[in-house]
Amino acid sequence: MDAQHHSPLDDAQGIAFGVTMAAFGIHVLTHMGFVTGQTTGIAVLLAHVTGLPFPAVYFTITLPFLGLAWRRMGARFALKTLVTTAALSLMVALLPRWVDLGRIEPAFAAILFGLMFGIAALAAIRHGGSFGGLSILWIELQDRTGFRAGTAQLLSDAVIFGLAAFIVPLETLAYSFLGAAVFSLFLAINHRRDRYVAV
């Protein structure tokens, strides 16, 4: 079967869906006081320590990676990543005004975050964008030094969770780890080119 190419409308609705799911996932994450890995996790920790709003911190952190994304993946990918991260930052800022969360069972909240952020990342990837982040840096590191990008990602997440241990209670950290594990497992199972051939 020939691959089906995405139209601009396909990409727009796919990225809009991804942004919406990611924003809701982050809304759950911050509501519960959880942390996570990758760029989002760094933004959560910095927002917690500095008191600055998460959307502003997140968008600022992603900016330095855009040049690297442009060089490695091209202008189209970098532009989609800029649009995606800007839209996500805006929606994360607006969502608390639209959805007021109450009590959520912590384990369910962690699983919910992992699933929502997983499907959001998958939607962005399948439509040629991303939520920005460290993965591009680790791929560059791998190309330059031979150090495996996957290992670098695991180590960076370990550092983020290690720092979080000084800030959040251990029980909250455990639920946070559950959410991160669900996210990683979701992507590992579903992010496969043999199951999805549209580009």
Within 10 angstroms of residue 146's Cβ, the number of other Cβ atoms is: 7
Task: Supply φ then ψ for residue 142, to 5 degrees.
Answer: -60, -40
**Assigned token pair, 151:** 């290992």
Looking up tokens 């996932």 gives: 25
Q: What is the DSSP letter of 195?
A: G
CB 65 within 8 A of CB 136: yes
Q: What is the largest CA-CA distance in the chain?
A: 52
pLDDT, tens only, 124-182: 877 777 776 777 776 667 777 877 766 777 788 889 999 999 988 999 999 998 998 88
pLDDT, tens only, 27-40: 999 999 999 888 88
**Assigned token pair, 62:** 């992603």
